[in-house]
Chains A and B, each alone.
Chain A
Amino acid sequence: RKEVEQDPGPFNVPEGATVAFNCTYSNSASQSFFWYRQDCRKEPKLLMSVYSSGNEDGRFTAQLNRASQYISLLIRDSKLSDSATYLCAVANQAGTALIFGKGTTLSVSS
């Protein structure tokens, strides 16, 4: 099992749609989880941290399920500007670095 696995993409949705991404991780001892956004040929940028209780930032909601070892990202009311690749990141066993998934590409169309 890969350390971090994400839903295969691409996701093609119309404006206003709700879309959800899942990410599974193999290290049950991981303590830190994140979603990053990456635009084409740009660096990844932190979108949000994922907390045990779940957290929301505007149209974005992140959740953690430790028992099943997955995290999710929900985007409501999709905008054209949400089109990007979304990377899931999980702390490694030592807690010293982040391990990234391959990313899921979202394309929002009008």
Chain B
Amino acid sequence: DTGVSQDPRHKITKRGQNVTFRCDPISEHNRLYWYRQTLGQGPEFLTYFQNEAQLEKSRLLSDRFSAERPKGSFSTLEIQRTEQGDSAMYLCASSPGTGGNTIYFGEGSWLTVV
């Protein structure tokens, strides 16, 4: 399968713990995105990378959230000191960066903070 891959698919954590999600984009896609989706809402943009450079961050991305894409391939999203309000599906997506803005999502990482 050469689609966007996310790991772990499900994570249950206690409030206050740190969690990290990994995303492997479609090969040779130089754009990578993180979105968050809660029940009844559409995906909300969090951040965007062009290769290894983080070019845009939403105001939704509080200082407890950090994302990296060190070599321009896979990316990680870390949430520190998790809160119950962080419970959501975290979606990674990638795009070739040409031919429009079509993005392709991974299956998502479900986070439950208890």
Tell me, in angstroms, the Cα distance from A87 to B100 when the chains sit together.
18
Count the A residues whose beta carbon is within 8 Å of the partner chain — how many?
Answer: 22
Could you mark each residue 87-105 of chain A with 1 if its beta carbon is under 8 Å from any beta carbon of chain B, else 0? 1000110111111111100
Tell whether, in the assembled complex, residue A102 and residue B42 are in contact, meaning their CB atoms are under 8 Å apart.
yes
Which residues of B from 76 to 114 have beta carbons under 8 Å from A?
91, 100-108
Q: When chains A and B are docked, how far (Å) is the Cα of A40 from the Cα of B48?
A: 25
B49 to chain A, nearest CB (A): 10
Q: Decide if B41 is an interface residue (CB 8 Å cutoff).
A: yes
Q: How many A-B residue pairs have CB under 8 A?
A: 52
Count residues on chain B whose CB falls below 8 Å from chain A CBs: 22
Residue pair A42, B107 in contact (C-beta under 8 Å): yes
Interface flags for B47-84 (1: CB within 8 Å of A; 0: not) read: 01000000110000000000000000000000000000
Q: Are B107's CB and A92's CB within 8 A? A: no
User: What residues make up the interface of B, taking CB atoms closer than 8 Å to A?
Assistant: 31, 33, 35, 40-45, 48, 55-56, 91, 100-108
Using CB atoms and an 8 Å cutoff, list the residues of chain A in contact with chain B.
4, 32, 34, 42-46, 49, 87, 91-92, 94-103
* Given A44-B43, A45-B105, 8 extra CB contacts under 8 A: A34-B101, A34-B102, A49-B102, A92-B45, A94-B56, A97-B103, A98-B103, A102-B42
